[in-house]
Amino acid sequence: MNKKEANEIKKLFTPTGCAITRICGCYVDAEKNKRTELKEAFLSLPEDEAFKYFTIFRNGLSGTIGKNLIDMEFPLHTEAEGGTQEFLLKLRDSQLKDDALIEEFYDKVIAGYDYGENYYIILNHCAYDIPAKSTDGIEMFDASDFVYEFIQCIICPVKLSKAGLCYNSETNTIENRSRDWLVEAPDTGFLFPAFTDRNTDIHSLLFYSKNPEQMPERLIDELLGCIIPMSAKSQKEIFQAIVEETLGENCDFETVKNLHENLNEILEETKDEPAPFTLDQYQMKRLLENNGASQEKLEEFDQRFGDGEERQKTAFIASNVVNTKSFEIKTPDVSIKVSPDKTHLVENRMIDGRPCIVIGISEHVEINGITVRPIGAEKTMEIEE
């Protein structure tokens, strides 16, 4: 799924675009006990509650594609009878009206979700008449040919509100505030099936993680059975290692600066594309070759990538491996951050026999908020009358 497709589904979680048919929920305590459950037609909920659920469901589709929102595929064996994908299809096709299936789903979540506090499992079922689009991209709501039927699961922490004082308008007094158990923003969740190319894709799902570096791997493995792609952090670390090893002795200041400038140019050119730009083996090799990698190192690079599935595993989402907000230089004692479009101001020079980082500056310089005169600038003469 790309950004446009995720945003299209988010519109279904609004009062005007609501496509939710049914909602189910299960509140689980820290000892993994089911404390209370909810099973309702969504439109029967009070308006205030429905609005709060809308916010939770939209939050479960928020964040960056490839970082917080991750496409996950089902291995073939999960689609066989008794597999995890087949179970999710049964749950979706039941439209959340089969109590036994719902209870089985809750049990699977509770068994696989390692979380030591209270949480709330929410399930919704939606049926979306996909509007056709004209050649100029305008939606034609009276020309729907397909229905995208899906379920969304959201898991939210439930935590005790903070102690404090409050104003009681009835008694006109300041008094101790009652503490409540609050359902917080989602930690994790998924959308099944995926909405790929604006249609149903039963072979994959879209997974949401508030903290992509703390993926609930056991839950994904046991409940979903999906292949977990590399996290954004892992992509960056592996990318950096490949650059260092492939460039070898050519991995100097100017070369790496040029490489990052190349990547930022690509990201700028593709920023309006719905899908994030991904570096595959060919693009990585071309990038390294253009920045001084030797033929011998490039052959080692090809061997490292391997063939078939190994190539796919080592593809990188460009925004995960390059910082588009700043160009950062670090030494053991000093850190320097520069805007990516101002890297020409930073140079690596030898001064008095020592390698130095030189930064070109304008007339305006501040130190801890105090405007100072740059070295070499002429002093202003003050004349007393």
Per-residue pLDDT of the chain (385 residues; tens, 9 = 90+): 899 999 999 999 999 999 999 999 999 999 999 999 999 999 999 999 999 999 999 999 999 888 899 999 999 999 999 999 999 999 999 999 999 999 999 999 999 999 989 999 999 999 999 988 766 666 665 656 789 999 999 999 999 989 899 899 999 999 998 888 999 999 999 999 999 999 999 999 999 999 988 899 999 999 999 988 888 888 889 889 989 989 888 888 888 888 988 888 888 888 888 788 888 888 888 888 888 888 888 888 887 775 545 444 568 888 888 888 888 888 888 888 888 888 888 888 899 988 888 888 877 888 888 988 777 655 554 444 3
Query: What whole-number distance in Å separates Cα of residue 187 and Cα of residue 378?
Result: 57
pLDDT at 158: 96
Amino acid at 256: V
Q: For 311-366, give the secondary structure using H, E and C.
A: HHHCCEEHHHHCCCCCEEEECCCCEEEECHHHHHHEEEEEECCEEEEEECCCCCEE
Query: What whole-number distance in Å separates Cα of residue 179 and Cα of residue 162?
Result: 7
pLDDT at 381: 45
Task: Tell me the sheet residues that pair with 36.
Answer: 27
- Sign of the C-alpha dihedral, residues 128, 133, 139, 140? negative
Query: What whole-number distance in Å separates Cα of residue 133 and Cα of residue 66?
Result: 26
Query: What whole-number distance in Å separates Cα of residue 228 and Cα of residue 213?
Result: 12
pLDDT at 268: 86
Q: What is the dihedral of CA 363, 367, 371, 373, to 10 degrees?
A: -50
Strand pairing of 119-130 and 69-73?
unpaired
Amino acid at 139: E
Strand pairing of 139-140 and 69-73?
unpaired
pTM to 2 decimal places:
0.81
Domains of the chain by residue range: 3-229, 233-321, 327-372
Query: What whole-number distance in Å separates Cα of residue 180 and Cα of residue 57?
Result: 22
Query: What whole-number distance in Å separates Cα of residue 97 and Cα of residue 91?
Result: 9
Residues 6+ apart with CB under 8 A from 212: 67, 68, 70, 231, 232, 233
User: H helices of 155-280, where?
Assistant: 217-219, 232-247, 253-269
Task: Tell me the sheet residues that pair with 277.
Answer: none
